[in-house]
Amino acid sequence: MADSDSEAEVTFESADEGDEGEVVEEVTEEKVTNEEKDTAESDSSQPQDHESTTEHSAQDDAAAKSSRTEGSVDESRTKAEDEMEETDGGKQDDENSGEHTEGSVNKTERTAASDKAGDVKDMVQTDDGNEAEGTPGDEKEQEEPEGEEIVNRGAPVTETEDTESNAKAGGAPQNASAAPASGGGSWGWGGWGTSLLSSAAATVTKVSDNVGKGLTHVLENVETSLGVLKPEELREIEKQEAEKKAKEKEEQSSQPKEGDQETQEGDSRQDESEGKEKEEKEEKEEKEEKEKAGAGIGGFFSSGASVFTSAMGKTVTGGLDALEMLGRKTMDILQEGDPRLEKKKGMVIPKRDKTNLSDVLKQAKKDADEEATRRQEEEEHQKYNYSFLFDQYQGLAHLEALEMLCNQSETKVQSSISIVTDEKLDELKTELLEVRDAFQLEDLDAVDEDTASDQDFVNVITELLFSLSVAATPNKLQRVQKETRDWLANHITQLKGDGDEEDKDKADIKEVHAKAMQTLAELTARTIEQFHKVAELMLLGQETEQAKAKSPVERATTLSKLASILSAEVSSVATKFCELLSSMGDQGSEEVNTIITNIYLEASNSASYIQDAFQLLLPIMQDIVVTTLNSAEEEAS
């Protein structure tokens, strides 16, 4: 604000600079005359030129002060306001002091316009011997707020001016409400200020309109309040003082008319220089005011009042002009390269529909959390998911590979049968059927007893594999089986040790469930892998002497045994897990029962996988039969 103030000042200053010097000089002259009263008339008639017109009309102290104010208005509208204050105080000045003041003002005006008000005050204070000490202090107090108000809002300024003019006019205080009314800012300047940016589009025009309207209002207010005195004590005192002075200067009552005319002239000139239509209006209204004031109170008084009012009006106009200027400039700068202020609007007013960064981040975090939770659940679920675990142990892959071998062998057998001669066909068919019959799973219960101990299981498997004349060793199967048995044994002893704790049971039940699923899946997968390897090796090693030593039917029987043992092992493991579980929890516990059911279900799945894999071996075995037969034939021939 301060910056713009000074800017405005500078602008005005430069605009009026040419006239300034003269004005001041004349002002000085005139004031001297006016204030001295005697010479006032003759002096005042002389200078009719320039902006000083208003000042010419001024005959009393108040007028003199306002003339000073006028000068400052030319240079700096804001400062003018300060000076107005000063002027109020300045009423108390002697005429002599007025002279001095003028002189000093004269000098200061030329140098620094912004300092002018302060200088004047200083001069007033120092030169005026009679000056009441309290007044300058008041002035200073009022100085800053006043200045700010002018820039910020038009309304308060007007108010002050109104009251001041009232005070100066010395008119009867009739319309106390006038000031507050005008000060209420009913024409929405406050709103105008804040909504400046948002009402971007035709703002410039609006601004000027507003200013115009505002001006009218101001003038109206000034008008209405002219005959009015605001019953504020401070003003009252000032008024009284003003009245005293007015009485002293009653003789000069003849001057007002001249003054009026001069004022008009001066005003119009100023208008020319400033090029503002509004001021013309103002002028007229000022005249009206003066007339009114004159009618209401004595001629002299009215003249004084009118002068002051005109000064006030100008001040107001000046203030408003400064504001308008500010507004225009601001808008110009704002609209530079952004004609409809779209960009700046976007900058100032946050767009609601656009998602901001924090929202995006929040959403991302939420998604990540959900994903993590989902994964965790999935992983948790997978611990108990037999199918997943089975796939994890490549059970499905081995099954698929075995199936491919099976398909290949099947095709081979089919084609062989079609080629074979009739007499050979019977022989072949018999052997193929024998092999097929051999591919029946033995009674599981019978085998179960044989695999009671760990060592038996491994021995039996190894033995069977050896009898298949295959180099495959059941390393993986053995490892799984051993691990499982060890684990079970550990847990059973553990259970006997501290099976009382409920919490531990809970955790253990889950653990046992997971372990059971994992064991079943791994055992099944390894079994299928074993079958797969056996199939590969049998197909690969058909030509070896070892292979020939055993008939396909014998091998088939061995494979059946192997399958039975492996199936039995799976069900045995399942049973052991279930026993462990039931010994852990209450028999009636739903959770335990559900898990036990689940384990038995998956155990039966395992058994069916193993049987399926086993059945896939049949075509391979038959393939071997055919190949063996063919090779035997070749040998024979």
Partner 1 sequence: MSYAYLFKYIIIGDTGVGKSCLLLQFTDKRFQPVHDLTIGVEFGARMINIDGKQIKLQIWDTAGQESFRSITRSYYRGAAGALLVYDITRRDTFNHLTTWLEDARQHSSSNMVIMLIGNKSDLEARRDVKKEEGEAFAREHGLIFMETSAKTAANVEEAFINTAKEIYQKIQEGVFDINNEANGIKLGPQHNTVNPAQPSGDRGQQGGQGCC
Question: Applying CB under 8 A, which residues contact partner 1?
Answer: 378, 382, 385-388, 390-391, 394, 396-401, 403-408, 410-411, 414, 472, 532-533, 536-537, 539-540, 602, 605, 608-609, 612, 616
Identify the helix (H) or strand (E) that includes residue 20.
helix 2-36
Separation of alpha carbons 351 and 546, rounded Å: 85
Is the Cβ of residue 64 or residue 610 nearer to partner 1 in the bound state? 610
SS3 call for 50: coil
C-alpha–C-alpha distance, residues 571 and 584, integer Å: 20
Taking the complex as a whole, the smallest distance from the CB of residue 519 to partner 1 amounts, in Å, to: 15
Assigned token pair, 330: 């601001």
CA pair distance 40, 59, nearest whole angstrom: 7
Q: Say if CB 595 and CB 383 are below 8 A apart.
A: no
For the bound state, the minimum distance from the C-beta of residue 474 to partner 1, rounded and expressed in Å, comes to 13
Residues 6+ apart with CB under 8 A from 436: 618, 622
Q: Which is nearer to partner 1, 388 or 487 (CB)?
A: 388
Q: How many other CB atoms sit within 10 Å of the CB of residue 634?
A: 8
132's tokens: 């009441």
Complex with partner 1: residue 159 or 623, whichever CB lies closer: 623
State how far the Cα of 257 lies from the Cα of 315, in Å rounded to an integer.
22
Give the residue with the Cβ less far from partner 1, 330 or 408.
408
Work out how close the CB of 613 gets to partner 1 at its nearest, in angstroms, rounded to a whole number. 8
Nearer to partner 1, 132 or 537 (CB): 537
Supply the minimum distance, in Å, between the C-beta of residue 620 and partner 1.
11
Q: What whole-number distance in Å separates Cα of residue 61 and Cα of residue 245?
A: 7
Q: How far is the CB of 608 from partner 1 (least distance, A)?
A: 6
How many angstroms separate the CA atoms of 441 and 607, rounded? 11
Reduce the secondary structure of 376-411 to three states and give it as a string.
HHHHHHHHCCHHHHHHHCCHHHHHHHHHHHHHHHHH
Strands (E), 136-260: none
Residues whose CB falls within 8 Å of the CB of residue 319, separated by 6 or more in sequence, listed in order? 77, 78, 80, 81, 150, 154, 157
Nearest distance in Å: CB 566, partner 1 = 15
Beta carbon of residue 586, minimum distance to partner 1 (angstroms, whole number)? 29
The least distance separating partner 1 from the CB of residue 416, rounded to whole angstroms, comes to 13
Torsion of CA 523, 525, 527, 532, to 10 degrees: -170
Q: How far is the CB of 376 from partner 1 (least distance, A)?
A: 13
Structure tokens at 199: 């009402």
CB 352 to partner 1: min, Å:
31
Q: How far apart are CA 271 and CA 265, in angstroms?
A: 10
Smaller CB separation from partner 1, 177 or 608:
608
SS3 133: coil
- Is the Cβ of residue 377 or residue 501 nearer to partner 1 in the bound state? 377
